[in-house]
Structure formats: structure tokens, C-alpha cells
Amino acid sequence: MPRSIELIARVVLLRGGQILLCRMKGTSHYFLPGGHVEHGESLRTALQREIKEEIGLTITGIQFIGGIVENKFFDARENRDKHELNILFTAKLANGIVQSQEDHIEFCWKDIKHLSREKILPSSLKKHLLAWLKNKKPFLGSDGWK
């Protein structure tokens, strides 16, 4: 299998002091909603498509929040090393009930005040996310570059 770097568009969705998180069913860690950018697709289009596919709702007002987080890890489900770049945005979620449209993932709203207690991957993303939630200023990438 050829090696590649996967491009992932992720979104911070906030509602009344809470943030929407996602996880694979049966796991104990969370990640931000979003997903893979397909060849020829813009980041914003990918994000809109992924959110529509995952929860059946639309997002608007997509804004880049200054975050690019590199992540290298071993994916036990696929039995291979992975390398990805997570590009972070914020957006507004249309009114409606957040309900997973895919059998393998689930979504939940978590209180921002207690977010530091949650296991969010990649861990470097969590660190920058917590800082961004505190001051809403663009942040550096996971290794300190802009």
C-alpha cells in the first residue's frame, strides 16, 4: 500500500458552553467532527460534506482558526502507520438534533469547562484547542510553526 499524508478537515462546533465531540463506538477517546478531504475538493466543501454525512445537518460561517496539527500514529484497525494533517475550523451548526448517520461513530456535547478531563486525540490538538477556546486567538501548529 502506498504511503501518503491524509488531509483532515475538522470543525469546532459550540453551543451554550458545550463543544460537539465524536468518537468511534466502543472507544474511550474523542476527536473533533470532520473528516478526509477528497482529491480535488476544497477544505470547506469537505467539511460541509462530512458534517452532512455524519450528522445530517448543515454548517455555515466556516472560519479557519489558525490550526494545523500534524499527527503520526499506528492504526490498529487497519494495521498500518498513518500520517495526517488536521486543519481546524469553527462554524455554526444548523438547528436540529445531532444524531449520528453512521453506524460506527457517535456524537456528544461536552462541557467546555471540563474538557481538559476528556481524552481527545490527537493530544497536541487538544492542547491547542483548549488554548483557542480560552482566548479565541489563532494558534500555532503542533510543533510550533505557523
Residue 143 inside a domain? The answer is no
Q: Is the dihedral of CA 60, 47, 105, 130 positive or negative?
A: negative
Residue 130 inside a domain? The answer is yes
How many distinct structural domains can be found in the chain? 1
Residue 144 inside a domain? The answer is no
At 110-123, the pLDDT tens digits run 999 999 999 999 88
pLDDT of residue 138: 65
At 55-106, the pLDDT tens digits run 999 999 999 987 788 877 777 777 878 788 899 999 999 999 999 999 999 9
Residues 102, 24 contacting (CB under 8 angstroms): no
In angstroms, the CA 69 to CA 56 distance is 26
- pTM of the complete model: 0.86
Residue 21 inside a domain? The answer is yes
Residue 13 inside a domain? The answer is yes
Residues 11, 32 contacting (CB under 8 angstroms): yes
Residue 1 inside a domain? The answer is no
- The answer, yes or no, to whether residue 143 has pLDDT greater than 50, is no
Residue 145 inside a domain? The answer is no
Q: By residue range, what is the domain housing residue 45? A: 6-135
* Distances 117 to 50, 84, 100 between C-alpha atoms, Å: 27, 24, 24
Residue 40 inside a domain? The answer is yes
Q: Which residue has the higher pLDDT, 136 or 45?
A: 45
Residue 77's CATH number: 3.90.79.10
